[in-house]
Homo-oligomer: A and B are copies of this chain.
């Protein structure tokens, strides 16, 4: 975490209080917050932080490769701080819960040359979909979840 801030400063990132709280909010495992959720959490510590600043900081973190953008539904993008550990996503069709997962082998390798149409294929994004245990159980479905465990 402070590693992250050090690394960013070493890359010429001016370390403002706004950027600091955005980076701090995006800490933890299986964290996939929308920009608005990041803004809400950041505002708990820095009430005057604006949405534009949150968008700016998120965009920079993505450009620097420190955070990954995830769009598992057609709605708002989510931001995943687990960018240094290649992974894919498993999404509950019921409540929206998102887990980071690692498939076996190299996902790129399963695309045959004949199916590459001459492309230089360099990356792959995979979204697995299904029902989480809570939503699969009979009874009332789980409340929509943003899958956040880190305290605000």
Binding site for B on A (CB under 8 A): 69, 71, 74, 77, 90, 92-93, 99, 101-105, 107-108, 110-112, 115-133, 136
Contacts and interface: CB of A to CB of B under 8 A. Distances in A.
A133 B118 CA distance: 6
30 contacts: A74-B77, A90-B116, A90-B117, A92-B119, A99-B117, A101-B115, A101-B116, A102-B115, A103-B111, A103-B112, A104-B110, A104-B111, A107-B110, A108-B128, A110-B110, A116-B130, A119-B128, A119-B130, A119-B132, A119-B136, A120-B130, A120-B136, A121-B128, A121-B130, A122-B131, A123-B128, A124-B126, A124-B128, A124-B129, A125-B126
A127 B125 contact: yes
A119 B125 CA distance: 19
